[in-house]
Structure 1
């Protein structure tokens, strides 16, 4: 019974730590991976460096982004932080 009294709070602390910190972080990482996998030509994106542009071409692990001045820059897919406007959204607003 003393073992349960000793390990109980430690076990409870681990369970709380898992549900409050580890699990939400895993969900965020999964959502980011899914967003990077679902990239399409024409999506408006923001990179981790803060560059805003449109996806011009997609390779297996690289993305070519067209900037406002017409230049095309090549980034890794992992460098895309968020999609601000998906292709379907742009077509619906037109």
Structure 2
């Protein structure tokens, strides 16, 4: 019985670490993945680099966004989309 007494504290810390750090991060990653998979042509987006644009074409892993008044088209990876702008 005394052998297992030394395991209680490390297992407790492991449980706390999981519920305070790992699980919330997994939930956040799942939400971002769902957002990126639900992108549609015409959505206003912000890349992780801070570029604002409108989605004009979606391929499997690449997205073309239209940027600025000159309507410059940039091709970025789907992973580079940081958020969708909702008005």
1:81 is aligned to: 82
Task: Say whether residues 1:72 and 2:73 are aligned partners.
Answer: yes
**Length-normalised TM-score, structure 2:** 0.94
What do the CA deviations read for 1:32-81 (whole angstroms, capped 9, x no partner)?
11100000001110001000011011001100000122100000000000
CA RMSD of aligned residues (A): 1.0
Aligned mates of 1:43, 1:4 — CA distance in 2:
56
- Please give the alpha-carbon distance, in whole angstroms, between the structure 2 residues aligned to 1:83 and 1:3: 53
Q: CA deviation at 1:4?
A: 2.3
Residue in 2 that maps onto 1:92? none
Structure 1 Cα separation of the partners of residues 75 and 54 of structure 2: 12
Deviation at 1:5, TM superposition (A): 1.4
2:85 is paired with a residue whose SS is strand
- Give the TM-score taking structure 1 as reference length: 0.87
**Residue 84 of structure 1: CA displacement?**
1.0
Q: How does 1:13-92 map onto structure 2 within 5 Å?
A: 13-69=13-69, 70-85=71-86
> In the comparison of the two structures, how many residue pairs are matched?
86
Task: State the 4+ residue runs in structure 1 displaced beyond 3 angstroms.
Answer: none
5+ residue gaps in structure 1?
90-94
